[in-house]
Amino acid sequence: MSKQNVPVQKNQQYEVVFEDLTHEGAAVAKINGYTLFVPKALPGERGIIKVTKVNKGYGFGRLIERLETSEHRVEPPCPVYHQCGGCQLQHLSYEAQLLQKQKMVKDVLERIGKISEIPIHSTLGMSDPWRYRNKAQVPVATREGGLVAGFYQERTHHIIDIEECLIQQEANDQVVQVVKDIANKLNIKGYDEEKHRGTLRHVVARYGLITKEVMVVLVTRTSDLPHKEQLIKQIQVRLPEVKSIVHNINSKKTNVIFGDQTNVLWGEEYIHDYIGHVKFAISARSFYQVNPEQTKVLYDKALEFADLSSVDIVIDAYCGIGTISLFLAQKAKHVYGVEIVPQAIDDAKRNAKLNNIENVDFAVGEAEKVIPWWYAQGISADVIVVDPPRKGCDEALLDTIIQMKPKRVVYVSCNPATLARDLRVLEDGGYKTTQVQPVDMFPHTMHVECVVMMSRVDK
C-alpha cells in the first residue's frame, strides 16, 4: 500500500471498532485493512477517532468520543494519568490486565516462535497492585515558582510536577517531596536540559520493603553541591528513616541518569532488603528488582521449573547481583553465575557472603565466552538458567546451551518477542517448551515477565 492509497487522511475523523492492544498499550483499529493505533481506547469499544499521523503501512489516532464502552474500563485513580507516560493501563481493570498479558504472551509465542499447544498459565498478579515500586528516579527542573519534580509527559521531556505516584512506595514519594522542598528553600537550582545549566538533575530514592531502610541519591550536574551540610542535616531531621545519603555527579549532556562518580555524603554505602530468606545489599547504582514482592513469585516459579536436586550443577547465564543464583543455591549442589558488568559481580559476591552461601562462584565476562571456557574445564550444567536483558540471549550462548545439553533450561524473560525468537532456536536444537508462566511485575503497564520451562528431548 503506497501512502497515496492509504484509506484515511490526517486530521479527518472516523468511526472505528477497537480489536486489540499493542505491546505499548495502544488500541488497534482497522479501516479497509489499514491499521491505526489509538492510545487510551480498549478492545471491544467503538468510538470516533481523529487521525493524527499517517504512514504507508499504519497510522495513529486520538480518541475523540466513545460510542460503546468496554465492561473492563475503569476510572484511573491517578490525577495525572492522562498526561504522564509512566503507566499505560490504569483505565483497564486489573483482572483484564492480567488476561491481556497472558494473551500477549500466547500471541507472540505463536506468531514469532511458532510455539503452540503448550500450557500458558494465567498471569500471576498482585493482591494489591499499587505502591509496589521500591525505586524512584525523578527528574528535577526550575520553573516560575521554584523547583518541579515528577515524571515526563508521554513522548516529551516536559516534567509533570507531581506529589505522589500511585505505583511508588509512599516512602519514595516522601523523599522526593522533602528533598524538593529543602532544595527550594536553599535556592538550589534544578537542571535545564536544553541549556545544560543548573545543579540538581535527579532525586533517586531507594526503599527496602522488608527492612524499611531508605537511601537518598542526589544527582547533580556540578561536582559542587551547594549548601551541602544544611541539605544533609535537614534531610536527616525530616526523614529519620534514611540510612544513606549519596551524591552522584553527572556533568554530561545526556539522558542517562547517573554519572561515573558516586560519593557517600552521610550514613552507609548500602541499604538492605530481603527476597524470601535471601538478604541483599543495595548501593546507589545496584541493579535490584523494583517489585520485590513479585520478584519472589517469579523466582519461586524459576526454582520450581528448575526442579533441582542436591546433586545438580546449575549455570546462571545473566546473574546480575546474584538474585536468582542465590535462590538456586539453596537447592543445588553448586551454582556458577556469569555477568558482563564487573560491579554487579562484586555485588553478587558480597550478597553470597552476606547470606553465608558458599556453593556459588561468580565470574565477570560474556556468558557466550565464559560458559564454553567452563565447559572446557569440565564444568557441565544439569540446568541452565537465563535471565537476559530485553534484547534476549546472544546467539553464541544459545549455541553453547545446545552443545552442552543440560537436562533443563529455565528462561526468565522481560520481553515476549525476544523470548519467542530464542525458544524457537532452542526447540530446533533439541529442547521442548513444556510450560510458560507469565508474572505481572509491573501492574498498570504493558510489561510482562515470563518463566519458561524447557526439557531436553533425546533424539
Q: How far apart are CA 212 and CA 216, in angstroms?
A: 13
Please return the burial class of 18, using the count of CB atoms within 10 Å of its CB with bins 0-12, 13-18 and 19+: buried
The residues, ordered by sequence, that sit 6+ positions from 288 with a Cβ below 8 Å of its Cβ are 134, 135, 206, 273, 280, 282, 321, 323
Q: What are phi and psi of 135, to 5 degrees?
A: -140, 130
- What DSSP letter does each residue of 230-256 carry, written as one string? HHHHHHHHH-TTEEEEEEEE--SSSS-
- Could you confirm whether 414 is annotated as catalytic? yes
Q: How buried is 76 (Cβ within 10 angstroms: 0-12 exposed, 13-18 middle, 19+ buried)?
A: middle
Annotated catalytic residue within 165, 319, 414, 450:
414
Among residues 449, 428, 398, the alpha carbon closest in space to that of 114 is found at 428
Helix (H/G/I), strand (E/B), else coil: 444? coil
140 and 202 Cβ atoms separated by less than 8 Å: yes
Tell me the DSSP string of 72-127. Answer: TB---S-TTTTTBSS-S-TTB-HHHHHHHHHHHHHHHHHHTT---SS-BPPPB--S
Q: 103 with 92: CB under 8 angstroms? A: no
Residues labelled catalytic: 414
